[in-house]
Amino acid sequence: MAPTTPQEPGLSAVPSYEEEQSQARFDALIDQDSRVEPRDWMPEKYRKTLSRQISQHAHSEIIGMQPEANWITRAPSLKRKSILMAKVQDEAGHGLYLYSAAETLGTTRDEYNEQLLSGKAKYSSIFNYPARTWADMGAIGWLVDGAAIANQVPLCRASYGPYGRAMVRVCKEESFHQRQGFEILLSLSRGTEAQKKMAQDAINRFYEPALMMFGPPDEQSPNSQQSMAWKIKRFSNDELRQRFVGMIAEQVKVLGLTLPDPELHFDEEKKQWIHKDLNWDEFMAVIKGNGPVNAQRMERRREAHREGAWVREAAAAYAAKQAQSEVA
């Protein structure tokens, strides 16, 4: 962080010469499409925005393990079980390196974790829907990971270095997950009537929440503009949603299944995909904590933290003893 001199309250409204210089350097980095690194000066709002965004992303990975972990012990073949375990484990890994990226902004992982457990921090609201059937493992992979990729591929070029680099790794694995999800649905769609029905039902339930993962429509998303100016975000919510819905509209044909959206079509004149109106009231309700399994997800995370307290304490005590004996 750049050195700051103590100031009279109120004086901060007028930037000092040093601050103006720092701001100019930061603006130049952004203009040149260069990367901002942890030791560079950055505006407080940029830091806060990133800190919130990266930690929310990390929290989403961690909470997002739950719906899929729910099916590991019941996976219908050993190969599927193995693939699903690897996937959920990848998510823990993503959480770890996203927390590392977020820590470079000056907040510790413990603090971020506290924000999650206290309910102060949010995570992707899609994970507040239950994974009811095995086909949900397919729909989550194809639609939820697919939407995540559409969101995240541009983030690989985010102006903040540690975030962009973390996203490169995350995206590679996510795209692998999406293929696996699609493959699950493909197997089901070529299977028995019951399997086909299961696949269609999962798509029906996840389609709309997946589209809402891109966030509110552009005109209702005030923070997006600033994020785009800072080159954290490269495309607007609606642009990304467009791109995604066009992609899945094609892919669903391969499955021989349908998207639950009779209005979905490509408008040749506007050169864009038109989808049905999404239920933003439900979206807001889920964000506020009223989704089907918000309470369950939070309790599970708190429980793991609570039950693991003695283990972490013991590990810390042991490490302290070791450090002491090395000094002695």
Tokens of 18: 């040093």
Residue 227: CB atoms within 10 A of its CB come to 19
In 3-state terms, what secondary structure has residue 36?
A: strand
Q: Which helix (H) or strand (E) covers residue 299, if one does?
A: helix 294-307
Q: Which pair of tokens denotes residue 225?
A: 């503009």
Distance CA 149, CA 166 (A): 13
Task: State which of residues 76, 106, 119, 292 lies at the interface with another protein (CB under 8 A).
Answer: 76
Write down the least CB distance from residue 227 to another protein, Å.
21
Asked whether position 184 contacts another protein by CB under 8 A, the answer is: yes
Residues 216-275 that bind another protein (CB under 8 A): 247, 250-251, 254
Which DSSP category does 266 fall into?
A: E
95: nearest Cα among 82, 113, 83: 113
Considering only residues 7, 34, 82, 279, which one is a binding residue for another protein as defined by CB under 8 A?
A: 82
Which of 13, 194, 327, 328 contacts another protein by CB under 8 A?
194
Only one of the segments 15-23, 41-49, 178-186, 257-265 lies at the binding site for another protein (rule: CB under 8 A); that segment is: 178-186
Verify binding: residue 117, another protein, rule CB under 8 A: no
Task: Kindly list the distances between the CA atom of residue 166 and the CA atoms of 85, 146, 148, 249, in Å, as whole numbers in the listed order.
Answer: 22, 18, 14, 29
Residue closer to another protein (CB basis): 64 or 162: 64
Q: How far apart are CA 62 and CA 70, in angstroms?
A: 14
Contact between 108 and another protein by CB under 8 A: the answer reads no
Smallest distance from the beta carbon of 46 to another protein, in angstroms?
A: 27
Shortest Å, Cβ 69 to another protein: 4
In the set 19, 111, 173, 261, which binds another protein (CB under 8 A)? 173
